[in-house]
A and B are shown apart, each in its own frame.
Chain A
């Protein structure tokens, strides 16, 4: 039976919250919320089987956020005493007073029912922090050795990132939540060198909201994937360079998740669309006037935002503004129908309620609207990946993510991958090198002719989605089936470099 880490529940969370909430309220704040967090992380990295990095971090702290006369005030502290909590509340009020001089827009929050006392724990079996470090290193060393045994592999990098996140939240409306979630990201990367050229082949295993069982159980076929990597790497190193031009693409979920993240996930954040990220992460072509009318993609495109998906990296019970998390439509039958919201943005646009996308990446960070698990739904009776490939006469099958870039309004993107396979008359015909696909978002999604069935669906994701100033990182998952796109621009990276 999973339980909230007793070391976290032993912290004086309620006393601190009471001190902070009452002090800020006494000073006139119309809204106050308090967050106490403990984030444990462990990073292990091996180079050619030898331990290179072993770092344990354990961050504890709290934050007080107030609205005073319609202006935000935020302050964070580290001393876990009621006096310190009250002082930090005073600081937050002081910041709101200083900031009032340059605030021209009254801050108000969309209403949210008070949820009372709630406890939520993510779905995992084995807490990775209960596993001996020596066992983890031994496993990574064994996996590295399997790669290095093959003389086509010159170097092997192995890494394992592990995070356990505890959040306590309380606000003046009466919501009090205590939550815990665990996530892991294991990566193996093989380097090959041949005739003065080098290349890499990385495992496709995604980061997950699971426990250590992900590395030892049957969720992912580690043995099979590790066994294939040397041959895949050798094939890539000897593959012909792609001829730039227009191709039909079948994109595997191991690659497509990142395209979804960049061209749909960020594009449908309402704070971006309204300009709140304009000077940094950027805005969005998907502006509110297009809601309900923009044909984002073809009729087979259905996108959901979801902070409740089991094992999703963005999944949690209640967000960092006390909003119960939800699942909703963002694109339905190709039509743009929904945004991701936090309470302030929801109120600004007249939405009845936030859909629970506020997140702060540390106890010293102010919550922002961050991404839900934004996913492309599979077709209920959709085809297999092989059937999608069979429908392509001259094309490329793209597997695994690598490089990504998209403009500040989410129009023009360019992605590479781990493997690009030539498709000839419905069959795979060996790997190609040096390929990148480039498109404009709505052209690309409108060129999607078919999506695969549930049997092709995989939840990919990342630990490190960046947004905001000061910069914050957020973990997020994206599910996708395999999908078929017609007429996509393929670049040759060597020619792009002017070689």
Chain B
């Protein structure tokens, strides 16, 4: 069978246009899902996707054509290349046209000749028995466990007519564990990201959930209102990931985001918080490593096919509480006059001096709410980046340094940008899993935050 590396070389050799980018991706995945202390679904999957980007110089500009197919066989390869070329001939010129990336600008390329990495159901070899034990323990304690474990391995081979040959292996895994009382009146959640499942401690996750369900033995009804609120790292991650996704330079420059400066330009350089918050990405961040070069299957507001292969470097999006960069393509960097800072598939927040654990922050709380995680987060008003959503799987009242009981859920209306201006305390950064966005973004490290006057807009009856 043809290897993906050979497929890339053959597709480039078949190309008849002025430039060509070929992306071959080999993916394997495996998952387990459970509910009510029993497995519900499972699976192993494999995918092979080939994307050909034809680049054609025409009288009125440079056009691109993108064709992406799965399961392409050797005898279908020329058809795919020609289809991309026809699309390039058909399409109008691309605004983001630029020269293809050369070796001096490219990211680290990995071991091109090695076979693709893969995962299998065997990755759960140690995890599945621990989960079975957790089911048995939960059943004995009148509790129900729900959750999901997934591991995927994506190997990307990127070749261009400018001579780049780059390869990346990206393992991605996560576990979500949810415990409920057997009458379903109480619920607690914990989740972790992992590269290989060897660091997943099911017992520790289950113990944390047991502790939270214990907190819920006393029920307290609270009305809607603005509360001092302790956001655990998962909740901070969900809010910061949305902020990150909203930080496109082109949209800001066009005057249509919270980062647009009234009258024109962007808010880069402006203060968002008196707290010296640092929000950054780094493709080499330990434990959160991700592909170190741009892989763009299509151009959009925040990506350009012409940038394929360019090195991703550490970038501070917010530094010392100031907005310091926005998501860029080379095209948008030219439009905005700002540095070229492409997006990276991880996000970290640090606050200098933030060393407290969440437990220590609870101990330092006179009266406030402690959340578990956030859910169904959607944008209400892009002008302020006002988001709405729900608290989920445990809201607790803290009084005089102790959790005194579980509170009803709330619908919140808050802006992650406005919220940064009300950070009263930040703890130590640790790896976490965003509850809502982990389908798309698993690599995050965040501190717990104490937020003054968090807006719990209405009460939810959900338990």
Residues of A within 8 A of B (CB): 43, 45, 47, 50-61, 71-80, 91, 94-95, 98-99, 101-105, 132-134, 137, 141, 154-155, 191, 193, 196-200, 275-280, 282-283, 285, 364, 366, 368, 403-412, 414, 416, 434, 436, 438, 440, 469-471, 489, 491, 493-494, 496-499
Complex Cα spacing A50 to B61, Å: 12
Stretch at the interface among B35-43, B102-110, B232-240, B269-277: B35-43
Q: Known: A75-B45, A493-B380. Contact between A198 and B386, CB under 8 A?
A: no
Q: Known: A52-B300, A54-B298. Contact between A104 and B38, CB under 8 A?
A: yes
Contact yes or no, B38 A78, CB < 8 A: no
Most chain A beta-carbon contacts within 10 A, residue among B42, B255, B386, B409: B42
Q: State which residues 422-451 of B face A: CB under 8 Å.
A: 439
Contact yes or no, B38 A412, CB < 8 A: no
Q: Is the interface of B mostly helix, strand, loop or mixed?
A: strand
B66, B375, B376: which contacts A56 (Cβ < 8 A)?
B66
Q: Known: A95-B44, A102-B32. Contact between A406 and B263, CB under 8 A?
A: no
Q: Known: A102-B135, A103-B39. Contact between A499 and B298, CB under 8 A?
A: no
**With an 8 A cutoff between CB atoms, is B140 at the interface?**
no
Contact yes or no, B65 A440, CB < 8 A: no
* For the complex of A and B, 8 pairs with smallest distance between CB atoms: A196-B262, A104-B38, A279-B146, A78-B71, A496-B413, A279-B178, A412-B460, A409-B462
A275, A277, A279, A498: which contacts B455 (Cβ < 8 A)?
A498
Q: Known: A59-B70, A407-B409. Contact between A497 and B415, CB under 8 A?
A: yes
Contact yes or no, B37 A104, CB < 8 A: yes
Contact yes or no, A78 B70, CB < 8 A: yes
Contact yes or no, B462 A72, CB < 8 A: no
Contact yes or no, A279 B189, CB < 8 A: yes
Q: How far is the CB of B122 from chain A (nearest CB, A)?
A: 9
Contact yes or no, B90 A494, CB < 8 A: no
Complex Cα spacing A60 to B50, Å: 12
Return the chain B residue nearest A409 by Cβ. B462
**With an 8 A cutoff between CB atoms, is B64 at the interface?**
yes
B37, B94, B131, B254: which contacts A51 (Cβ < 8 A)?
B94
Chain A residues with CB under 8 A of B35: 275-279
Contact yes or no, B44 A497, CB < 8 A: no
Chain B residues with CB under 8 A of A436: 380, 388
Contact yes or no, B42 A76, CB < 8 A: no
Contact yes or no, A76 B87, CB < 8 A: no
Contact indicator per residue, chain B 311-343, by CB within 8 Å of chain A (1) or not (0) = 000000000000000000000000000000000
Contact indicator per residue, chain B 350-389, by CB within 8 Å of chain A (1) or not (0) = 0000000000000000000000000111111111101011
**With an 8 A cutoff between CB atoms, is B85 at the interface?**
no
Complex Cα spacing A79 to B76, Å: 13
Most chain B beta-carbon contacts within 10 A, residue among A74, A200, A285: A74
Complex Cα spacing A494 to B390, Å: 19
Chain B residues with CB under 8 A of A405: 376-378, 388-390, 411
Complex Cα spacing A469 to B40, Å: 11
Q: How far is the CB of A134 from chain B (nearest CB, A)?
A: 5
A102, A199, A489: which contacts B132 (Cβ < 8 A)?
A102
Chain B residues with CB under 8 A of A133: 87, 90-91
Chain B residues with CB under 8 A of A404: 378
Q: Known: A133-B91, A154-B254, A409-B463. Contact between A55 and B38, CB under 8 A?
A: no
Q: How far is the CB of A376 from chain B (nearest CB, A)?
A: 22
Chain A residues with CB under 8 A of B462: 282, 285, 407-412
A54, A76, A132, A199: which contacts B66 (Cβ < 8 A)?
A54
Chain A residues with CB under 8 A of B65: 54
**With an 8 A cutoff between CB atoms, is B292 at the interface?**
no
Chain A residues with CB under 8 A of B409: 407, 412
Complex Cα spacing A42 to B41, Å: 31
Q: Known: A51-B92, A279-B176, A438-B458. Contact between A470 and B388, CB under 8 A?
A: no
Residues of B within 8 A of A (CB): 29, 31-48, 64-71, 83, 87, 90-96, 121, 124, 128-129, 131-132, 135, 144, 146-148, 150, 176-178, 180, 184, 187, 189, 254-256, 260, 262-263, 297-301, 375-384, 386, 388-390, 392, 409, 411, 413-415, 418, 439, 453, 455, 457-463
B46, B48, B94, B131: which contacts A102 (Cβ < 8 A)?
B131
A-B contact count (CB 8 A): 269
Complex Cα spacing A299 to B121, Å: 52
Most chain A beta-carbon contacts within 10 A, residue among B38, B180, B256, B409: B256
Return the chain A residue nearest B255 by Cβ. A193
Q: Known: A198-B255, A407-B460, A496-B413. Contact between A51 and B93, CB under 8 A?
A: yes
Q: Known: A53-B299, A405-B411. Contact between A75 and B460, CB under 8 A?
A: no
Contact yes or no, A416 B70, CB < 8 A: no
Q: How far is the CB of A420 from chain B (nearest CB, A)?
A: 13
Complex Cα spacing A493 to B361, Å: 31
Contact yes or no, B91 A134, CB < 8 A: yes
Chain A residues with CB under 8 A of B178: 278-279
Most chain A beta-carbon contacts within 10 A, residue among B146, B262, B380, B382: B380
Q: Known: A52-B95, A71-B39, A366-B43. Contact between A101 and B129, CB under 8 A?
A: yes
Can you sample 28 A-B contacts with CB below 8 Å?
Answer: A43-B298, A54-B91, A56-B87, A57-B69, A58-B69, A73-B42, A75-B44, A80-B71, A95-B121, A99-B39, A103-B38, A104-B39, A133-B91, A155-B256, A199-B383, A278-B36, A278-B187, A279-B189, A364-B46, A403-B379, A403-B388, A406-B376, A412-B411, A470-B29, A493-B413, A497-B381, A497-B386, A498-B455
Chain B residues with CB under 8 A of A52: 95-96, 299-301
Return the chain A residue nearest B422 by Cβ. A498
Q: How far is the CB of B205 from chain A (nearest CB, A)?
A: 12
Contact yes or no, A54 B375, CB < 8 A: no
Complex Cα spacing A471 to B150, Å: 11
Q: How far is the CB of A444 from chain B (nearest CB, A)?
A: 13
Q: How far is the CB of A341 from chain B (nearest CB, A)?
A: 16
Chain A residues with CB under 8 A of B87: 54, 56, 133
Chain B residues with CB under 8 A of A77: 46
Complex Cα spacing A438 to B390, Å: 13
Complex Cα spacing A43 to B87, Å: 12
Chain B residues with CB under 8 A of A132: 90
Q: Known: A57-B69, A438-B411, A493-B381. Contact between A102 and B38, CB under 8 A?
A: yes
Given A55-B297, A275-B36, A489-B458: 11 more A-B contacts, CB < 8 Å = A47-B95, A50-B92, A99-B32, A133-B90, A141-B92, A278-B180, A408-B462, A414-B411, A440-B461, A470-B29, A494-B381
Q: How far is the CB of A405 from chain B (nearest CB, A)?
A: 4
Q: How far is the CB of A422 from chain B (nearest CB, A)?
A: 19
Contact yes or no, A403 B380, CB < 8 A: yes
Q: Known: A137-B92, A498-B418. Contact between A198 and B260, CB under 8 A?
A: yes
Contact yes or no, A411 B132, CB < 8 A: no
Chain A residues with CB under 8 A of B32: 99, 102
Contact yes or no, B43 A74, CB < 8 A: yes
Chain A residues with CB under 8 A of B42: 72-74, 95, 98-99
Complex Cα spacing A196 to B124, Å: 54
Most chain A beta-carbon contacts within 10 A, residue among B69, B93, B263: B69
Contact yes or no, A53 B148, CB < 8 A: no
Return the chain B residue nearest A39 by Cβ. B70
Contact yes or no, A55 B47, CB < 8 A: no
B69, B459, B461: which contacts A285 (Cβ < 8 A)?
B461
Complex Cα spacing A137 to B69, Å: 22
Most chain A beta-carbon contacts within 10 A, residue among B187, B297, B411: B411
Chain A residues with CB under 8 A of B36: 105, 275, 278
Chain B residues with CB under 8 A of A101: 128-129, 132
Return the chain B residue nearest A406 by Cβ. B376
Contact yes or no, B38 A105, CB < 8 A: yes
Complex Cα spacing A357 to B128, Å: 30
Chain B residues with CB under 8 A of A496: 380, 386, 413, 455, 457
